[in-house]
Chain A
């Protein structure tokens, strides 16, 4: 009985855990360069991009390579998303069912990129237990949606007990079917915070070996000019 009580007292509050994770993962703004390696059923493709973002509302991405994608730009302003294609010189707003389409053929959808609400705002968190992932002790947190307009009805997150970063995440449909799985690695201390710089996304409904997302450089809290987040910048 004493053991049970001790265990109960040593377990943190699930919501408090998520807030600690947010402190590491979220920032006022950031500039990053990333490499996305998409392992398809037939071959692998590598795409590089540079992203400027402010909070969770504004984000601007410019694709740098390969040649076919070079110059493609993506602008997200709150709940709106536009894509600029240099070959057609057209800017198209992505909405409706197009949001479910894959980003550059990866295991990520535009919808995944758009839903940047804080987890504590849309999910009820419950601590499920402890597990070890890649030699690191983790808390296993189960999240249940409390809003209807959400892509994933429930989630399961494995949070590093010492660094407060996610090491693994599973996303489920209302039916309980596992839709996506993400693993986080290469956790580094950057500007005083722990941050995973490598991720592997796997769309469980898609064949292939998933998508590796590697952050090659990241700078937090930089001075980003406001004009970076206007539609005019897309055609520049």
Chain B
């Protein structure tokens, strides 16, 4: 019977082609939209991870309590020892020590007197070690606007906008005035190697990037780091997995009452990122649900119309003596085939579009001018496991439901009136 029904569907294009096309379009949109929402929201989270929080962050307990203020007097001091421990416990992760500090950039004139100065937010990252992936992680090469990346100690990058404000360019000298980790004033001379623009107003307003060892020297933090950021191998943040890793690490120090003992926090457990991660999860599900529901209604309607369009055919079949139950059953089986075929085609097409945008992205930097929160300047989709089965919900379920509802009318038709209806 199934073979018979399939043959019927293939030979009668009006029963198969249009319904399959409608289902495939609906499923394509569902799969693509889900990948888009996951990608856009995930990218914003990834950007915050790369610049500020990592997928997990290791700090001292005392630092963690005031983390928003970057209290470097409470920083980690035995960084290398801790890195060795982290590499042993989590060999699949990458670790990046960072120091974030505030200060003043002072530019001297020819006599050494202050020509101009401005407040800066400085980030100490490992830019010079051959094994470090920080340049790639922060996209420094892509963000370079003039000059070069630092190639030796004593060279810094300064945001393009800030450089313009201070009237400096690559090759100029600047003095960074800050506080050592002991709270004393520190002054350190640097050469501006290049200017950068991240396309994020928050970062471009007044930031400088210093090599980690130079930052340690300036702040008198030998082997120190404000925090060690951890990145999971997949490159995407997984809240449950990161929270589990943090809990496993913190278990090691559970018995210690030292306020400078290390503590690990997942991205979703830090500052403003906690509510954002929760919001992302809720919104991602909510938006996907609304879209799936909308597509379900469309496909249900399509199934319903398909059923009603075959009113005459069903009448003939009933008049020829086919049982109502048999007619109803065959329509349901046909709709399952249509739903499955459309869903498979739609999922493949949807995933293909999503893959193209995931790999190549869409540049929206022109729309980001004036943005005050850290958001990506490129939109990328992100294919996740639900994308492989999500489209089948509206694709199969709604189509079958629509047909099932339309088919109920079969049972309401009276055989005595059939010929009258067919004659008309």
Q: How large is the interface on B (under 10, 10 to 19, 20 to 34, 35 or more residues)?
A: 20 to 34
A23 to B180, CA, bound (A): 38
Q: A87-B187, A105-B183 are in contact. Are A68 and B106 (CB under 8 A)?
A: no
A41 touches B74 (CB 8 A): yes
Q: B residues within 8 A CB of A38?
A: 182-183
A40 near B183: Cβ-Cβ < 8 Å: yes
Q: Which of A42, A87, A105 makes the CB contact (< 8 A) with B184?
A: A105
A24 interface residue per 8 A CB criterion = no
- Contact A104 B112, beta carbon cutoff 8 Å: no
Interface size class of A (residues with CB under 8 A): 20 to 34
What is the distance, in angstroms, from B378's C-beta to the closest C-beta of chain A? 37
Tell me the smallest distance from the CB of A17 to a CB of chain B, in Å: 35
**For the complex, what is the distance from the CA of A87 to the CA of B184, rounded to whole Å?**
14
Decide yes or no: A105 and B182 within 8 Å by CB, A42-B73, A90-B187, A91-B113 being known contacts: yes
Contacting pair A90 B175 (CB below 8 A): yes
**A197 at the B interface (CB under 8 A):** no
| Chain B hits for A45, CB < 8 A | 182
Chain B positions within 8 Å of A27 at CB level: none
Residues 146-191 of B at the A interface (beta carbon under 8 Å):
175, 177, 179-180, 182-185, 187-189
Q: List the count of A-B residue pairs having beta carbons below 8 Å apart.
A: 58
A88 and B175 form a contact (CB under 8 A)? yes
Check B260 against A102 for contact (C-beta < 8 Å).
no
- Residue of A87, A89, A93, A106 near B114 (CB, 8 A) is A93
> A101: CB under 8 A from chain B?
yes
CA–CA, A109 and B113, complex, Å: 24
Known: A91-B113, A92-B177, A105-B182. 15 other contacts (CB 8 A): A38-B182, A38-B183, A40-B73, A83-B185, A85-B187, A87-B188, A88-B175, A90-B187, A92-B114, A101-B179, A102-B179, A103-B184, A104-B182, A104-B183, A105-B183
Could you jot down 18 A-B contacts, CB within 8 Å? A40-B182, A40-B183, A41-B73, A69-B184, A87-B187, A90-B106, A90-B108, A90-B175, A91-B113, A92-B187, A93-B114, A98-B104, A98-B177, A101-B185, A102-B179, A104-B182, A105-B182, A106-B183
User: Which 3 A-B residue pairings sit nearest by Cβ, starting from the closest?
Assistant: A105-B183, A85-B187, A105-B182
